[in-house]
Chains A and B, each alone.
Chain A
């Protein structure tokens, strides 16, 4: 790549997409958006124009071949797009090319799409449009059957749009996922910029992704990006860690909820830290999470506790057993508990729900217990996306966040280890809880593997749990070989023997 990206960008305004596209679509060019039925193509096109008007005051022209303009007006109203109002203000114009009169006009001899082009030009001039959407080209193919004409005419349309200086989105049909870019295999050769929207079943879950296949001479992120279609927000691409603008590191320390653990970490967690606690079931991860929340509430901070592992009632009972009254904390308005099993929604929806809660409730602390429960429903790669995306938000907002995780007992697919390693790497503080045999007893041990930016305690210490919570005791000497069996993040997350039994 030659230095900076010289191609000017036109932000779509679509939630999260512009980050993937490194700023937006190539400006004053045409971009093909291809997808199967129901993949969100029309929505992409509508949002491209609507955000243009709402965010940048750039008028737009919508050319519809399939749905009638009335239909699009009606469907867009639920997203808060008042197309009718924009039409009356001269900011939005339809070119309705949906099948109406003359749809079955027979063709005798050669023809071109001069009528369409002049109508688009006219609408662009009248509104002063900067953005044009054409939805969808597939409909022209079914109505006009001469492929050579169509290919030639697509060039003409793309050329006309570029001459007008507008940035345009043209949608096209794909017959199947992962089988060519477009149904007719023609469109993608006409356009230099191609995006594919997918809607596939993965691990028995419907999953939507967006992929930028090519951008002429313009950098973009590669691969498929998860997105969801939220009822009021429209398309939301789940962003990743690099979305965060590196904020200044916080120097404020907060308590973990355990004075001994604070000491081990060099004086508590930094306010903007992401903490990962890993350990087998029963070693005290949930307890650590609860103590962390309780100390936040005591300090007058708002806290969110997101459990994927237990119901509210189970959690209340556990907490009561350790002398914490979650109900009272909730009653004080400082604690919000979210408990759903992972299976009730897609990962993207879980993410959105959490993000919404963070926006509304503005917590100072967040606990997610446990990430491992999410492994049941998503691939490691998606889980990494989730952690990184959430991490980006909480760091920016300086929300001290504690994730817990259990080493999985299952065989982890190859490649997955690298990903769990990345999750572990992402954490600013990494804490390991482990069982160990000591003098004929099963005991618990704790070690701080990493505390970024702090001088932390490197010793392995004994942990006891009783009715008042977790107590970190003396340094364990001469038994470190038990932990060195698997003290690194890789083996913490990797396959382990059945000694841990089934996970909760």
Chain B
């Protein structure tokens, strides 16, 4: 089974950072339960990684695997659109408008 690897860039321990993490974990549990890894990078603490990843906005989610890489910015509060944008299995072919929960 393919492992989904994400890196979540956030700034500090804010509501928004927390929301992004919660939303990302919820999506992973819903779509790829047990087969995912999430690395959380606080850009305030590790600015080099933000520089390397050319991150401007936080939160930013990078899907590192499977390839191709994908990037979404925001706290992922709209689960439907977030799942589509991150390319979770079963969301690829369908537009987010028609894709129901």
Contact = CB atoms under 8 A, between A and B. Distances in A.
* A interacts with B: yes
Interface string B45-59: 001101100111111
Contact of A105 (B12, B60, B78, B81): B60
B10 interface: yes
Nearest to A101: B54
Interface in B1-43: 9-12, 16, 19-20, 23, 43
Contact of A115 (B11, B74, B82, B85): B11
Contacts of A106: 72-73, 81, 85
A114 B69 CA distance: 22
Contacts of B71: 101-102, 105
Contacts of B54: 96-97, 100-102
Given A105-B72, A105-B73, A106-B85, A111 B47 contact: no
B47 A121 contact: yes
Interface in A83-113: 95-97, 100-102, 105-113
Contacts of B69: 101
Contacts of B85: 106, 108
B58 A112 contact: yes
A110 B77 contact: yes
A110 B77 CA distance: 8
A171 B7 CA distance: 32
B75 A110 contact: yes
B11 to A, nearest CB: 3
Given A105-B60, A110-B75, A122 B48 contact: yes
B73 A107 contact: yes
A117 interface: yes
Interface in A166-225: none
A348 B55 CA distance: 43
A116 interface: yes
A101 B70 CA distance: 10
A104 to B, nearest CB: 9
A100 B51 CA distance: 12
Interface string A106-136: 1111111111111101110000000000000
A313 to B, nearest CB: 62
A144 interface: yes
A119 B49 CA distance: 9
Interface of A: 95-97, 100-102, 105-119, 121-123, 140, 144
Give the 4 A-B CB pairs with smallest separation, nearest first.
Answer: A114-B11, A122-B47, A115-B55, A114-B58
15 contacts: A95-B51, A102-B62, A107-B57, A107-B74, A108-B72, A108-B74, A108-B81, A109-B76, A113-B58, A116-B57, A118-B50, A119-B47, A122-B47, A123-B51, A144-B57
